[in-house]
Amino acid sequence: MSCFADRLQRAQPTARGTRRWLFVPYDQLHDGIGPLAHEPPGELGIVLVESRAKAARRPYHRHKLALVLTNLRHFALEQAARGVAVRHVATDGGYYYELPGGGGDEALGYVQVGLMLSLALADLPHPGTPWTLDIGLSYLVLGDSNRARNGGDRDELLAVLAIATSF
């Protein structure tokens, strides 16, 4: 067993019971906002996924990748010490099939397919400031839990029209 896995197992809370499970992406490791900040740690559990497929998708610098993985593991240990149950998964695949429920729609709530188009506009009203027109369309197939919240509808079509700039 790795040193990290051993430390995580020793730090895990011993209390059993029903917990609300949250997936926390590697780039959103923060317990100062959201459910991790506002709900009792004994009622929460988090799922953290180390995905080799994610790391292989683009050329990460070795040191940056090491920093990201170290940060994820330290966050796991900190949350376990607070009393939050932690499920840490290392996989060759993606996140979807590693989440509780084996990738079923009940685990994630929905499956989304979408298309976004950004068109550059003239530098108006301030020359030198880039403006874009963003047009998007998404189709969601809802899982059982979200279908109940959506009035029983199985799917949803979303459209986005926005004008954006950067400063």
DSSP the chain: --HHHHHHHHHS----S--EEEE--TT---SSSTHHHHS-GGGEEEEEEEEHHHHHTTT--HHHHHHHHHHHHHHHHHHHHHT-EEEEEEESS-SGGGSTTTT-HHHHSEEEEEEEEEEEE---SSTT--EEEEEEEEEEEE-HHHHHHTTT-SEEEEEEEEEEE--
Instruction: Give dist(CA 149, CA 147) in Å, integer.
Output: 5
What topology is assigned to 3-98 in CATH? Rossmann fold (3.40.50)
Confidence class of residue 147 from pLDDT cuts 50, 70 and 90? Answer: low
pLDDT per position as a tens digit, 98-127: 555 544 444 445 666 778 787 777 656 666
Domains of the chain: which residue ranges?
3-98, 109-165
Percentage above 90 pLDDT, the chain:
11
Q: What is the per-residue pLDDT across 59-105, written as a single tens digit (0 to 9) for each?
A: 778 888 888 889 999 999 999 999 999 988 887 766 654 555 544 44
Q: What are the b/e assignments for 106-145, b being 16+ CB within 10 Å?
A: ebbeeeeeeeeeeeeeeeeeeeeeebeeeeeeeebebbee
Sign of CA dihedral 86, 91, 95, 97: negative
Question: Which pLDDT band, with edges at 50, 70 and 90, does 27 fall under?
Answer: confident
Q: Average pLDDT for residues 31-35, to the nearest whole number? A: 85
Q: Are 119 and 133 in contact (CB under 8 A)?
A: yes
- The size of the chain, in residues, is 167
Better-scored residue on pLDDT, 54 or 70: 70
pLDDT of residue 110: 61
Round to whole Å and give the CA distance between 112 and 155: 10
